[in-house]
Chain A
Amino acid sequence: MTASAEAIRQARNRFSEERDAYEAAGEGIAAEIALASRRHGITCRATSRAKSVASFVGKCWRKGYEAPWEQVTDKVGVRVICDVATDIELLAALIHEKYQVTADEDKTQALVDADKVGYAGRHLQVVIPGIVGGECEIQVRTAAMDLWSDMSHRLVYKPNVDIDKATRRALVRLQTLTEIFDEEVSRAMKQIASDPANLYVDLIGFASEIFYRHNESEIDSQLSKFVLGEIGPTIGIPPAEYGTQLEAFGARFESKLSSIFQRYQGNFESILLHQPESIIIFERIENATLSIEATWPESLPRNELQMLANIWGANLGD
């Protein structure tokens, strides 16, 4: 089958007209994934890009599509770059949960199966809500995979370029290096997480998940780490177990939290209210009022606790 110039012309015209809508949809999906990943405590960056019209047409000719509109499935793409390779699986699960996924491929495995050099992430094809027949490709990868991908597209998969055996061998070594890079990053992250000094970092993830349901504020993660490093030891419940307790609290007081964050949007009298740790402080104020009052660290301003207690409507006692 060969591409028909008329079909490509029609597809190109349609894409020119609808490209803005695809671009907007891509931005929306990137923002949704970024928000959802923050709620799940996954560190990543999500960006989007609609294909250029020239690239759209070029692909149609190169691939010889006979139904170009339907066959070009990456009219808009979202790229999600995470810190740790193990987060790819979590992000893929999150995307499956949020969108209708029509295809899901582990690209590294696909390259291995095709006997090609490569180190890629996961490619998922999802349906774009609101655009009839619209789909979006979401690529999930680590920074190292991204680096490899950029380089390989410029060198390895360059059209009409044959690579000799020695160069191919050099590329395999490079690929191995990027894989080692990711493994070392994962190992270092595990090491950091197991350090007692970072024991309470997980709490930020639990709190963020609830916080971002009600708030879009940019947070100061260093402040969160400091505050939870101070409050964490006073909670007296193992972090993982406390996460479940916090989730139950978030569900029980969903409406109250929503009302408070809505009312105090733009009111920065309390600094901690605009940080995810406010969720933990509210939970403590609700369930362990007199304990948090007695154990509030001296390193944190006491008027912040009093203000949050007033906002929550709790009696800390005189």
Chain B
Amino acid sequence: MAQIDGGAIEIREWVIHDIPQNFRHGDREELQLSEAISPSDPEVARFFEQKISESFSKSCHPILAKDDAEVPDDIEDHLRGNVDLLQLSVSLAQRLYGSQTAAMSAGLLVAMKGQYRDSEPMLAVLKLEKEKGARAEQEERDGKSTYTVQYLKDLFLTNRTRVFKVGIFTLADGALSAWITDPQSRGGVAQFFLENFLQCQLARDPRATTEAFHASAEAFINTEVPDPALRARYENAILTELHRNTTEVNLPDFAKGNLEVNDRDRFRTFMRERGVDEVFVKDTSDIKSKINRIQYEFQAGVKVNVPTESRDTVNITELENGLTELRVEDSLNKVRSRGA
């Protein structure tokens, strides 16, 4: 499944439901759901589109319906025109309220209807938390100009909001496609929103996507980067990224943080052409042994194996005569013969 194009999302109408905190063992608040679609406002629609697009550009995972899942079926029914937006949103709100635990904060559920790539029916489901803020307004008091400040407790989705989750469902050529973004977690996808609420699962196996990233990134280094010192630096960066204590890899972030400006877009294109996702959930269990050592292989047959944790003891330099120098600064432990 291709990555979603955030620029091709068009929002047309939406319904917002307030979802209070669910105290299972205490007083349970009455669920008061919206009874009508929100008034349409093109400026608000464009704002929602930009926020969703920004969110998907930072974290985007294709997802699939779980076996016998009701929610994706209901959404598909809506996309086929059998269930209206309000009716669907009410059932989604009830489901969200019913399945969330007391540990989860209150928030808003927004169901948005629109189209994708000019023709495909689309539904976006957003879970947002209310925010607080202040608004300053200039006014005249006793003939003098001053500012009054209003404290707002019911803001949501401000320009800096990062706390929200979005699922997008489209119907292309009769089949349901779906993606999820969860920039809040920056380390995978909130299990509750994906699995309990939307009843979906990641479409790609994180072990396979991580292996594809590793193999393709090394292929880029060995075929597209002639400078040996730069190759060594990039290889280090790949291993550091894979060893980092995060569960998501974001290619543009990786490129910006580790590659020279001229290599960044080339790297991205190279990876895209090999089908590596821009953002993926990281799982190194299939490549653990590969990323524990770095091997430097020279033309004359010399191979140097360096444990990842000792890679700082090795220094690579390109010499003026075009050859490469590998220097190891350490105490020599032992020397031994070894067969081919």
Bitwise, B262-289 to A at CB < 8 A (1) or not (0) is 1011001000000000110000000000
CB distance from A40 to the nearest CB of B (A): 27
A294 within 8 A of B: yes
Bitwise, B231-267 to A at CB < 8 A (1) or not (0) is 0000000000000000000101101100001101100
A236-288 at interface with B (beta carbon < 8 Å): 255-256, 259-260, 263-264, 266-267, 269, 287-288
A312 within 8 A of B: yes
Neighbouring B residues of A311 by C-beta, 8 Å: 7, 49-50, 53
* Alpha-carbon gap, A295 to B264, bound state (A): 12
Interface core residue of B46, B268, B279 (most chain A CB under 10 Å): B46
A289-B265, A290-B252, A294-B261 given; A269·B58 CB < 8 A: no
* Alpha-carbon gap, A181 to B323, bound state (A): 65
Neighbouring B residues of A306 by C-beta, 8 Å: 54
A267-B42, A291-B264 given; A318·B58 CB < 8 A: yes
Neighbouring B residues of A293 by C-beta, 8 Å: 256
Q: Is the CB–CB distance between A315 and B46 below 8 Å?
A: no
CB contact between B252 and one of A260, A310, A316 (< 8 Å): that residue:
A316
CB distance from B7 to the nearest CB of A (A): 3
A263-B46, A287-B265 given; A317·B118 CB < 8 A: no
B10 within 8 A of A: yes
Q: Is the CB–CB distance between B50 and A310 below 8 Å?
A: yes
- Which residue of chain A has its CB nearest to the CB of B46? A267
* Alpha-carbon gap, A112 to B258, bound state (A): 70
Number of residues of chain A lying within 8 A (CB) of chain B:
29
Please classify the interface of chain A as helix (H, G, I), strand (E, B), loop, or mixed, using the class held by over half of its residues.
helix
A269-B46, A313-B56 given; A263·B261 CB < 8 A: no
Q: Is the CB–CB distance between B278 and A315 below 8 Å?
A: yes
Q: Is the CB–CB distance between A259 and B57 below 8 Å?
A: no
Number of residues of chain B lying within 8 A (CB) of chain A:
33
Q: Is the CB–CB distance between A263 and B10 below 8 Å?
A: yes
- Which residue of chain B has its CB nearest to the CB of A286? B7
Q: Is the CB–CB distance between B57 and A295 below 8 Å?
A: no
Q: Is the CB–CB distance between B8 and A315 below 8 Å?
A: no
A263-B10, A313-B5, A317-B250 given; A290·B256 CB < 8 A: yes
A314 within 8 A of B: yes
Neighbouring A residues of B5 by C-beta, 8 Å: 256, 313
CB contact between B7 and one of A312, A316, A317 (< 8 Å): that residue:
A312
A67 within 8 A of B: no
B9 within 8 A of A: yes
A189 within 8 A of B: no
A309 within 8 A of B: yes
B6 within 8 A of A: yes
Neighbouring B residues of A315 by C-beta, 8 Å: 57-58, 250, 252, 278-279
Q: Is the CB–CB distance between B261 and A290 below 8 Å?
A: yes
A269-B46, A290-B264, A315-B252 given; A309·B57 CB < 8 A: yes
CB distance from A265 to the nearest CB of B (A): 9
- Which residue of chain B has its CB nearest to the CB of A315? B57
Neighbouring A residues of B6 by C-beta, 8 Å: 310, 312-314
Instruction: Contacts A263-B42, A316-B252 known; list 20 others, CB within 8 Å.
Output: A256-B7, A264-B46, A266-B42, A267-B42, A269-B43, A288-B265, A289-B265, A290-B255, A290-B256, A291-B264, A310-B51, A311-B50, A312-B53, A313-B6, A313-B7, A313-B8, A313-B9, A314-B57, A315-B278, A317-B256
**Minimum-distance CB pairs A-B, first 9:** A313-B6, A313-B7, A317-B252, A290-B264, A315-B57, A310-B50, A317-B256, A312-B7, A310-B54
